[in-house]
Structure 1
Amino acid sequence: MLTMLDGHDHTAIELAGALGTTRRNLYYVLRLFRGMGFRVVRDRTFYYIDPRSPFLQRVASAVEFADDEVVYLHALMSKLAGQDVMASVVKRKLERYYDIDHQDGMRDMRHLSDNIEALERAMEQRRVVILRDYSSPHSHSVSDRVVEPFLFQGAKTDVRAFEIKSKQNKTFKIARIGRVEVVDAPWFNTDRHREVFTDMFMFSGEEQLRVKLRLSLLAHNLMLEEYPRSAPMLSREDDNHWIFEATLVNYVGISRFILGLFDEITILGDEGLRAYVRRKIADMSRY
């Protein structure tokens, strides 16, 4: 199989020799390959496997790196290449397989890598940066942003930073940054840095609210069925009750669950949740 994928032309005799079998058995193997999803091509007296075969495409989609992953790995290997032979080998393989030196898209990837490296340096040194020519999808404008970057998100596709002008924590797409300029000025808003927290209901925000409920067996079972991520937040109180304790971004998701099983749940905390549920009940009583 590897011989048929090496990019060279091979006759049936050569393939039979590589396999250590007869030409008759080779044809049986080729039929077997076709049945497995390989596209076996005959070109005059030569045979090869089309690299676009369905089976190979499925394998490639499972193991092939995304563009941002290639950027990250290539940048990492480039840093280590001078001192590590294995890093040099991996770097060359990435360049050959992804055609890094020739693809126009790879220039953008190297630009992305430079921005990530500058942000990493700024975070390590706790420095302010200017995001030059940042293209905002919300305001549909291009402008410079002066920020204190403190956290990467995703596969280093986003950066969480405190914007000095707006005095707000924001998430910036690194691909939308023209250039990262590290400024010789230290962070002076560290106490205002806030990460984005995502709760079990998939709400995201900076605020974190602690809630506590007593659930009946029915409420406990429905909680696990509807929200499997709640399992670590549940502890048995007795044979008929469970305690649910969690940190949430808001009361929207949990109040919906409570109101749907009102007779099966007791709110133990916090007071904000009690007030929120009371308001919802008052709103419903108007209909």
Structure 2
Amino acid sequence: MFNQHKIYRVLRLITLLQNKPSKSVRFMANLLDCTERTAYRYIDLLKQLGFEVQKDEHSKFYIVSENADIDEGFTTEEANFLIEMTKTAGKENILKDAVLKKIYLKSEVSQQGNLLFKAHLSKLVEKINKSIAVNKKVVLKHYHSVNSNKISDRIVEPIQFTENYSAICAFEVASKQNKYFNLERIIDVEVLEEPQEYQEQHQVEKTDVFGFTERNGEKFEVELQLSLRAFILFKEANAGLEKYITKIENSDLYLLKVNVNNPKPITSLIKGFKEELEIKGSKAFMAYLKAEKSFKI
């Protein structure tokens, strides 16, 4: 039987890997406050329980979402009862792990894992809001940069959150640049006593649906034809995409049309669901995909 701390880590890891983007082992170890070796053991445990844990092209891990196929669930009490009954079947019962996985996915236990993750993000928002109110600098602890693939502390002057509170626009002291920092990649926030000193350089740049600002005037027009499953999974991966998706009349298909400043996030989504969609354009985006060595169209 798992102890309480181990259950917390497993729930948090499941929730973490079900949320985009994919996570490195180092990032998971930092977030779960454990060694990288222990993080690998938790990944192996998830695989043993039947979760489809996969690596992307950068050797980062994610769980293939199956929530779209889940309709009606169990209460926590019902799930715990079924779990105990299932465990009595013995280690050699090949159905046990599959049943345990389905109980988890169809129960309130899964929702509790999401609540733990959301509670962590809420604390970060609260601390950053406090720093904005009193014009103080903050340290974004162990921030995981997708561009550099490094984890480091960032001293910043927070400016404002994005509309959906998924990122914070802030002036980074070291680089003297205004940047967007994804909340899911922040381990913790420390509010400093130092007052903000670069407010005249603060600037909020307009971002695309993935939180990326425009660089060198370059934009990519993306047009995808989605199946119903892809439509659901795209919404789960990024709720902001829904307003750019329309249903195609007299069919079960959907059309996504959106402009992005950075084509990498949408390309990662396409790679995960290539069998569930058709790429329509544009020329610039198609040229980018053809140039991707790890991507075939």
Q: Same fold by TM-score, threshold 0.5 exceeded?
A: no
For the pair shown, which has the larger CA radius of gyration, 1 or 2?
1
Give the TM-score, by structure 1 length: 0.37
Larger RCO (CA within 8 A; separation ≥ 6)? 2
The structure where strand makes up a greater share of residues is 1
